[in-house]
Amino acid sequence: MNKNVLWAIRLMAVCVAGIIALQFFYSVQNYAIEKRNFSKTVNEAFQVAVDSSFSARNDAISETFRTWISDTASFKITCRVNPKQNVTVFTIAEKLPPFSDQNSTSLSIETFTEKRHAITTKARAIFIDHLVESVRTDLKKGYVFYYTKQLGDKLEKERFFVPIDTGIVRKEYRRELDKRAISLDFSLDPKQITSGKFTTNQINLALKQHVKPRWIRATFPHSAFFVFQKLKWSIAGSGALLLLTFFCFGYTLKLLFTQEKLAKVKDDFINNMTHELHTPLASIIVTAEALQKFEHDKQSQKRYLEIILHQSKRLDSLSSEILDSARMRENTNGNFASTDLNTLIQEAISAFPEVAFDCFIPATEIAIQADRDQLIRMLRNLFDNSVKYANVENLNIRISVSVVGQKINMEISDNGRGIPKDEKSKIFDAFYRIPTGNLHEVKGYGLGLHFVKQVLQNHGGSISVVDAEPQGTLFKITLPK
């Protein structure tokens, strides 16, 4: 192959490899960034969900506290006006034993400006709301104010011994993830980390410091798929770019190889033609010179003129063959008429009286629409090739024809040398000859089978070549009826 072409192919291959490597690198980087973003988002959401679970629990405790102080059998709420400060002072006192020295508390409410000497339903409700809100705020800050001993003990118990329900954490986490457009399934695992699965940071759900921690973490079994989903357009873009690059590379390679092939075919053709033209021309020149220079008797003159005529005819048939092939390429029409294929085959065979033909053809007429001359020449080209390339003593050409529906199947085989496997696809190309080095033992221009293929295409048919059994070449032809 041409050195420059080789270099161009190498450079293109390096470019394609570079594009693939860069695309791969960017895709891996994008994946890492997307994974980091995912990790940040789900960890943030997890922290928010746990915080919300704690505050939901504080709300629940505050509401329980409301039921305790609203219970008139257990607590008595009264009020009076403190004359010194001129404010209403509320008192909440335990009603049930055991009593301690802190069984009641009195306090005023800054926003309650009325002066009340006795409790009313409205004042009582305002006082209860005030206490509940104070407890809620204290719980948020992380401590409990002992209004009375019994209330304080109950609150401590509720605060430290009723654990956070993971069901609430799950619900809160789901809500937070939905807010962030993450619809992935997750599981809340206290300890175990499943390898290969994405897991959030662990968070302690213990209610007190300095006690055994109660770790919780979330595991996402399908996080990789989610991250890929996010990258789908960038991956699809990369894939499309790679496909386009491969296509361009392949297409350019194909063009380069076609160019190479054409150059080789051209060289072969010029070599062949030079040889084919040179031999008859040299013979004509030598013979004509001999005629010109020397006196010859009638007999010799006749012989020399016959040589000139024979070589001129050879040149003429060569130029006609090339011209015919060119004409056939430009003009696909022909003199189509209804003809009997059987008769055409017999006529083609008649030009080869010295060859043994085995015919398996239906005895009846096989009527087809065809250009008689083209079909006869096509068949003769095939028979001629068998004769030229057979290279065997007892050449035998086998012709079989069968009609299947509207299709005619014809097989023409010989017992010659056959065609090598990797040449089969090329022999129908114009000017293609199977390379034999510089030996031109058999004459030809590589146009015979090209002509055959063109005639068949012209008739709406096709041709392919396979190995004949046990040896030789088998051409399979189809023609429409």
Judged by the rule CB under 6 A, the positions of this chain that interact with ligand ADP are 385-386, 389, 414, 416-417, 419, 427, 432-434, 444-450, 473
Which runs of consecutive H residues, i.e. helices, occur in 189-231?
223-230
CB of 460: closest distance to ligand ADP in angstroms? 21
Alpha carbon distance 70, 42 (integer Å): 42
Instruction: Please provide the DSSP assignment of 227-262 as one string.
Output: HHHHTHHHHHHHHHHHHHHHHHHHHHHHHHHHHHHH
Phi, psi of 102 (to 5 degrees): -115, 75
Best CA proximity match to 340, nearest among 274, 247, 403: 403
Q: Nearer to ligand ADP by C-beta: 199 or 473?
A: 473
Q: Where do we find the tokens 């020399």?
A: 304
Alpha carbon distance 404, 177 (integer Å): 69
Q: Nearer to ligand ADP by C-beta: 433 or 459?
A: 433
Q: Nearer to ligand ADP by C-beta: 217 or 433?
A: 433
Q: Nearer to ligand ADP by C-beta: 375 or 427?
A: 427
Q: Nearer to ligand ADP by C-beta: 328 or 419?
A: 419
CB of 474: closest distance to ligand ADP in angstroms? 9
CB of 406: closest distance to ligand ADP in angstroms? 29
CB of 459: closest distance to ligand ADP in angstroms? 18
CB of 386: closest distance to ligand ADP in angstroms? 4
Q: Nearer to ligand ADP by C-beta: 147 or 475?
A: 475
Residue 124 tokens read as 């009582």
The CA radius of gyration of the chain, in Å to the nearest whole number, is 51
Q: Nearer to ligand ADP by C-beta: 340 or 467?
A: 467
Q: Which amino acid is at 64?
A: T
E strands within 287-392?
A: 336-340, 356-360, 367-371
CB of 442: closest distance to ligand ADP in angstroms? 7
CB of 393: closest distance to ligand ADP in angstroms? 15
Best CA proximity match to 378, nearest among 449, 460, 300: 449
- 279-313 as b/e: b if 16+ CB within 10 A: ebeebbeebeeebeeeeeeeeeeeebeebbeebee
Alpha carbon distance 9, 260 (integer Å): 13
Q: Nearer to ligand ADP by C-beta: 139 or 427?
A: 427
3-state secondary structure of 208: coil
Contact 116, 123 (CB under 8 A): yes
3-state secondary structure of 400: strand
Paired residues of 93 in beta bridges: 76, 104
- CA distance from start to end of the chain: 45
Q: Nearer to ligand ADP by C-beta: 305 or 434?
A: 434
CB of 475: closest distance to ligand ADP in angstroms? 8
CB of 337: closest distance to ligand ADP in angstroms? 27
Q: Nearer to ligand ADP by C-beta: 339 or 473?
A: 473
CB of 395: closest distance to ligand ADP in angstroms? 10
